[in-house]
Structure 1
């Protein structure tokens, strides 16, 4: 049986074209379960702009998404979370979601976290993302990250970065 991989979308949810690059690569080694975080958080994004969606996540949406994810997932899995999806996975892990390996990409809200999940963690941030955690945060939590040079928040949409992240995920299968 193939190991399970949960993929949590970014703020915009849906099934964007860039996501297909990840699933096409990862489906050869994983049973993939994709979660649109807007659906997990019960957020209607039809007529909202980015700041409205963001505010809904901050005003109860993250907690609702964590609660729903905990209800849906009871077995151990590897998780790949993009932006707010990584933050939701992190918080769900702290509340009991069994995550063997947690990969977060551009999950800048983690800078407000002070407790670390009990799993193998790999964090990716763009060098030019103004909201990435500072070096003191990484030191205080004893975490390593991969800072991608000349990349911004949406680094996860770039093909070379897709290959790098998926390669790191594949490496966890051989540890």
Structure 2
């Protein structure tokens, strides 16, 4: 399965993160800054552009222009929010994984594709359990982890995050 990866406001990951058991012959790693029309921005300036100006709508439009059929979408933080919104507006993906995409807490209904979300327990902006039980198909919170836990865990070969992503990709997750 091909991967469509969208990074966070800090540019993570700068290169594609190879995931275990998620065999992919083609990988698309995209940066929010470029998708939003402001490749010169990072960090707080990019966050402001995305959420207080029109940057997110630009990113969503750019993602909708990609042929995502046959792709697994993986978004880190605001990258997951952009992918989620692009799917709502017509981007075709096989499935979507969002890691620390806390702005999803404002979503009120599930997507029509398999979705998995991951949170750090100590992230003050993560959605409630009641939200998790309604909007995504699957979710997991990692005890003792902050918002940006993925910056290490996505790159660590035997991390629980990587293992859980592999389980989801292999279709071994029981959706409730």
Q: Normalising TM by the smaller chain, what interval?
A: 0.7 to 0.9
SS state of the match for residue 18, structure 2? helix
Residues 1:12 and 2:7 are matched in the alignment: no
User: Relative to structure 2, which stretch is displaced further, 148-157 or 69-78?
Assistant: 69-78
Q: What per-residue deviation string (whole Å, max 9, x for no partner) do you get for residues 91-134 of structure 1?
A: 01011111111111000000011132111011000011111001
Alignment match of 1:122 (pick from 101, 116, 124): 116
Question: So what's the TM-score if we normalise by structure 2?
Answer: 0.82
> How far does residue 88 in structure 1 lie from its aligned partner after superposition?
0.6
* Structure 1 equivalent of residue 32 of structure 2: 37
Alignment match of 1:100 (pick from 85, 89, 94): 94
SS state of the match for residue 132, structure 2? helix
Q: What per-residue deviation string (whole Å, max 9, x for no partner) do you get for residues 17-60 of structure 1?
A: xx55x2275784342111111100112445x6x32221100121
RMSD: 2.6
Question: So what's the TM-score if we normalise by structure 1?
Answer: 0.83
Aligned pairs for 1:10-89 within 5 A: 10-13=8-11, 15-16=13-14, 22-23=17-18, 25=20, 28-46=23-41, 50-58=43-51, 59-73=53-67, 75-89=69-83
Paired residue total: 168
5+ long unaligned stretches in structure 2: none
| Greater fraction of residues in helix | 1
